[in-house]
Amino acid sequence: MSLREHPRAYGTAAVAIAFTAGVLVTLGFKDLYPDLEGRYQQKRRWAQRNRRNSNSNKDNRRSSIFWGPVSLEDHETAENALNLRSSGIQPGIEGCIGGTPLLEIHSLSEATGRTILAKAEFLNGAGNSPKDRVALHMIQVAEAEGLLVPGRGDTIYEGTVGSTGISIAALARAKGYRAHICMPDDQSLEKSDLLHHLGATVERVPVAPIASPEHFVNLARQRAAEHTASQEDESRGFFADQFENPANYQAHQATTGPEIVAQINGRLDAFVAGAGTGGTIAGVARHLKGDAKLSNVRVVLADPQGSGLYNKVRHGVMYSPTEKEGTRRRQQVDSIVEGVGINRVTENFEAGRDLIDDAVKVTDEQACKMARWLVEHDGIFVGSSSAVNCVGAVVAAMALPKGSRVVTVLCDSGTRHLSKLWKKIGDMGLEDEPKPDDLFTLLSIEQPKDIIT
């Protein structure tokens, strides 16, 4: 008897065929979109977390803005993550960390024929730099490990050229700790003044090589050990160790990278950043090429003069002309630029070094001219490391097809660099003399043929 002659059998077969087809389609759909289940669970976690934040203040030490997951394809979830700052009352100053905007620098886009975007990290609300993310995560990890206990009188010690110390000082006060900062005495006075006003103890120490016990990082480590060894009270000294502490790059891998991916909606050709500790470029690179699987994105290091990282990336050897016998200077990184540039490979930089595709060397003159250009053409007033990043972004963009998209980082405001970078800009006459309207002439960079008019 055929199926056509038996309606019930025909119906049963039709249902079986439909069920099988549905299973096959579902499996195929899952192959195309393997993260659907993760996205669904992620939405549930975000909804639960937001309800807890609105109904309870039991745990005000952790910001859902800073640590919330962000998904590339799930635009609704990503939008929620990036807009949490303005969605209600935040749990203290740490609630203003993360979720920084990604802005287009119009003058650089117009000049290059590529879209130049910048992560406005100077809008982080504790210390006004990307180091806010790092300082918060280092403190949270130390608390989880019992190395820091609020209210015990603990002190956070750090060796820094400024920005990390400022972030630590602000968050230390907010979370019940003291801060003790060691920094080189050749850094801008604005930074140490700000640290004093934030209640930190500041040691400005002579510049010394990293091998010396008098180096600012080694002094901070020593001060922390002396504090802990003292028997005066139960308080402890915690050495944050931003250069080697993996919480540094992990903060950027967990937050900065996902935010960028969500903001660019998957369209990105290059990411450009400088390296001091190396945490930003390593953490973002690990997220872009690892977590987000954007393997075609070029990661480019922007390195100031005097630093050896350019040669480490390009040639595999840490070498700078300032190290040549007979020419070695008192300070190896002989540059007006603060915050980026170093002549050793830190653990944080090493965590992402294999993911860095290229490097761009930026001179002090280029950095000064770029800083002034950004003010005149875009109203953006930033410091030296941001200027280095923007020069690097322009050079990296020129190696990409017209219409490509490049993301870089604006690290901190120019108000922290008045006595050094901006004084140098004034001394160079950049604020008074007529300057070329052509960016490539100004920076002495070869103008690409595809945008010559």
Show which residues are catalytic: 131
For residue 225 the two structure tokens come to: 């050990």
Angstrom distance (rounded) from CA 407 to CA 136: 24
Residues with Cβ < 8 Å from 443, sequence gap 6 or more? 366, 369, 370, 391, 394
CA neighbor of 168 nearest in space, from 217, 133, 203, 144: 133
Angstrom distance (rounded) from CA 60 to CA 62: 6
CA neighbor of 320 nearest in space, from 361, 272, 279, 358: 361
Angstrom distance (rounded) from CA 407 to CA 228: 43
Query: Phi and psi dihedrals of 150, rounded to 5?
Result: -60, 140
* CA quadruple 119, 366, 353, 70: dihedral, nearest 10: 0
